[in-house]
Amino acid sequence: MAFSPAAKSKEELLKQFRRNEILDAARDVIGHQGVTEISMERIAQQAGVAKGTLYLYFENKDALLESALEYTYQEFMERCRSAADAATGCAAKIRAIASSIVASNAEQRAFGQALQERPELGPEGVSAFSERLREQIMPFVEFVAEIFQAGVRAGEFRAIDGMRAARLFLSLMRGLAFQQIRDPQPPDANQELDALLDIFFHGVSLGGTA
């Protein structure tokens, strides 16, 4: 009758493992078919399980996709944080994050999708879906914002608003991801990145700060 704690945790682990297998599969499918063209059938195939099994691990399709996006985001944001932590100086941290994003993007085209945040779910934010994604992403945006703030305090950056800089920076990265994904023959990502960061850091204007 009584469960041995070991057995229990083993089942827990197995469950977790299965869950992640499914999320990996979902991410792959997202990467190949885009977020909205996905069918449960296809995810099940990719994960090597039966359709019904998906419902043992996830409430429904939306929950699964949401988890898959979260999962991808988490991994990606983790990577960015590590890269930032390893760098010295705020500009360097920003560059490190940018490089991480470019690398993630190269590895996981799905990320490019995820980054675009399922805009088809509508601007109203009605769907709990996009709401929760926002919640996921906000801490990361704030993390980047703080780097900018620190840079301002450290005298590395102008007196800009951290959040705005963060958003502009991430828009830039999204645009780059977009180009790399959509362009049939995209230019070298790192060159492109350097050129864009140059503009981002120094502005387009000739005269420097007003």
Partner DNA sequence: TATGAATGAGGATTCATTCAT
Partner DNA sequence: CATGAATGAATCCTCATTCAT
Of 55 and 178, nearer to DNA (C-beta) is: 55
Cα separation, 136 vs 77, whole angstroms: 10
Residue 116 contact among DNA, a second copy, none, beta carbon within 5 to 8 Å by kind? a second copy
Report phi then psi at 48, rounded to 5: 70, 30
Cα separation, 24 vs 45, whole angstroms: 12
Residue 53 contact among DNA, a second copy, none, beta carbon within 5 to 8 Å by kind? DNA
Residue 204 contact among DNA, a second copy, none, beta carbon within 5 to 8 Å by kind? a second copy
Neighbouring residues of 104: CB distance < 8 A, sequence distance ≥ 6: 76, 79, 111
Residue 35 contact among a second copy, DNA, none, beta carbon within 5 to 8 Å by kind? a second copy
Tokens of residue 192, six digits: 């492109």
Of 5 and 167, nearer to a second copy (C-beta) is: 167
Determine contact, residues 157/165, Cβ cutoff 8 Å.
yes
Q: Residue 40 Cβ, how far from a second copy at the closest point, in Å? A: 15
Of 4 and 41, nearer to a second copy (C-beta) is: 41
Of 50 and 128, nearer to DNA (C-beta) is: 50
Which stretches of the chain bind a second copy, using CB under 8 A? 31-37, 91, 109, 112-113, 116-125, 130, 134, 148, 151, 155-158, 160-161, 164-165, 167-168, 170-172, 174-176, 178-179, 181-182, 184, 192, 195-196, 198-210
Q: In the block, which residue shows the tokens 């704690």?
A: 5
H or E, element range at 51: helix 51-57
